[in-house]
Amino acid sequence: MSTAVRYYSKGGNTKKLAEAIASAAGCEALKIDTPITEETDVLFLGASVYAYGIAEEMRRFISDMDVSKVKKVVVFSTSALAQRAFPEIEKALKDTGVNVDERNFYCRGSFLMMHKGRPNEKDLEDAKKFAKEILG
Ligand SMILES: Cc1cc2nc3c(=O)[nH]c(=O)nc-3n(C[C@H](O)[C@H](O)[C@H](O)COP(=O)(O)O)c2cc1C
């Protein structure tokens, strides 16, 4: 099965999850400035919430994505508050016609004085477990 990991991370929290997921999936975690050019069975896509929404850069990655190359997208995300990137990113992905897995991975990410140290070791272990479950 061919897998890929792409992420957008301003502060490094989502990058940590991306690297944990990539290590479990046996591929490299790359930023979204590297487009998907090869046939990919599962694309793990990582995003966060900034000022109540996903980043413009992530919207662009999704709208520019060659959906004929991607069989399925699995979303992972961090945020400081309750609202998650998943519903917004899921909508943007579904608008392109790509298949989005209902399962997604989420954990808190540190922000200012909140959630210090998150994602922590347990979050990263949980992210690896999640990736392994997805890949069967
Ligand atoms: C400029 C900025 C705006 C943010 N706005 C929100 C927000 O509206 N809601 C929220 O839950 N978290 C917000 N956060 C917190 C981030 O979602 C959280 O720190 C996340 O883990 C950042 O991921 P990153 O380190 O991969 O960029 C914000 C963080 C930054 C830097």
Residue 38 has a pLDDT of 97
Taking the centre of ligand 1 as the mean of its atom positions, its distance from the CA of residue 111, in whole angstroms, is 6
**CA atoms of 131 and 58, how far apart (whole Å):** 21
**CA atoms of 87 and 97, how far apart (whole Å):** 15
- Residue closest via CA to ligand 1's atom 29 equals 50
Residue 17 has a pLDDT of 98
Domain boundaries, position 103? 3-125
Is 79 close to ligand 1, i.e. is its CB under 6 Å away? Answer: yes
Instruction: Judge whether 135 lies within some domain.
Output: no
Taking the centre of ligand 1 as the mean of its atom positions, its distance from the CA of residue 72, in whole angstroms, is 26
- Residue closest via CA to ligand 1's atom 31 equals 50
Low-confidence ranges of the chain (pLDDT < 50): none
Instruction: Judge whether 11 lies within some domain.
Output: yes
Instruction: Judge whether 132 lies within some domain.
Output: no
Instruction: Judge whether 69 lies within some domain.
Output: yes
Is 111 close to ligand 1, i.e. is its CB under 6 Å away? Answer: yes
Instruction: Judge whether 61 lies within some domain.
Output: yes
**CA atoms of 119 and 108, how far apart (whole Å):** 6
pLDDT in tens, 57-83: 999 999 999 999 999 999 999 999 976
Instruction: Judge whether 19 lies within some domain.
Output: yes
Total domain count for the chain? 1
Instruction: Judge whether 133 lies within some domain.
Output: no
Determine how many CB atoms are found less than 10 A away from the CB of residue 50. Answer: 16
Residue 107 has a pLDDT of 96
Is 130 close to ligand 1, i.e. is its CB under 6 Å away? Answer: no
Question: What CATH number is associated with residue 26?
Answer: 3.40.50.360
Is 78 close to ligand 1, i.e. is its CB under 6 Å away? Answer: yes
Instruction: Judge whether 112 lies within some domain.
Output: yes
What sections of 1-136 are H helices per DSSP? Answer: 13-25, 56-64, 86-96, 121-135
